[in-house]
Structure 1
Amino acid sequence: MNILKIFSNKIFSKDIASDRLKLILIHDRADFSPDFLEMIKSDILQVISKYAEIETGNIEVRLTTTDEYEGSSPALIANIPIKKIKR
């Protein structure tokens, strides 16, 4: 463990590079193109908007990995702020 890292708020370039490499590997393993991810995002928003009002300015949809199963598998993470639920 790096002691300097614990007491510093500085983000190291090696950590940024490592995160970028992980993202590239996730996209390659999941075989998702950016266009495909946008189509998924659009479909998710369309379905959720039937049931809730969505704040469209702060929506984030990304791919990551999960170690929940054997090995690491791709996971889709969506952060969609909801204004209110439709009744």
Structure 2
Amino acid sequence: MKLDLFKLFGKTNNKSKSVAKERLKLVLIHDRTNVSPKFLEMVKGDIINVISDYMVIDEEGLDIQFTRTRRESDNSPIPALVANIPVLKMKDKDIK
């Protein structure tokens, strides 16, 4: 039986890399929008709760960001919430 140490340590490395990437995203978002990472996590949780009533989503693939955009009327900068939510399937809901 051969033990592949690269695979064993590679899994942890990928997970650490993902965590570091997520933390960096939160820091950048905070700098851009002056929104705390805790607030962003609360918004993310609320969005997941609401959308989960209607569809099955891939929470790992969920990407929510605050960014800046320009208002069409006067071209002034405004914050924007951008969400990329992978939908796995729609739930059967009775619409009355």
TM exceeding 0.5: yes
Which whole-Å CA distance do the structure 2 matches of 1:54 and 1:21 have between them? 25
Q: In the alignment, is residue 33 of structure 1 matched against residue 33 of structure 2?
A: no
Moved segments of 4+, more than 4 Å: 20-23
Which whole-Å CA distance do the structure 1 matches of 2:28 and 2:48 have between them? 28
Which whole-Å CA distance do the structure 1 matches of 2:58 and 2:51 have between them? 11
8 Å contact 1:58–1:80 — kept in the other structure? Answer: yes
Equivalent position to 1:75, from 69, 73, 80: 80
Q: Which has the higher contact order (CA 8 A, sep 6+)?
A: 1
Structure 1: gaps of 5 or more residues: 1-19
Which structure has the greater CA radius of gyration? 2
Cα RMSD over matched residues? Answer: 2.1
Structure 2: gaps of 5 or more residues: 1-26
Q: In the alignment, is residue 50 of structure 1 matched against residue 53 of structure 2?
A: yes
Shift of 1:35: 0.2
Which whole-Å CA distance do the structure 2 matches of 1:37 and 1:75 have between them? 13
How many residue pairs match? The answer is 64
Shift of 1:66: 1.4
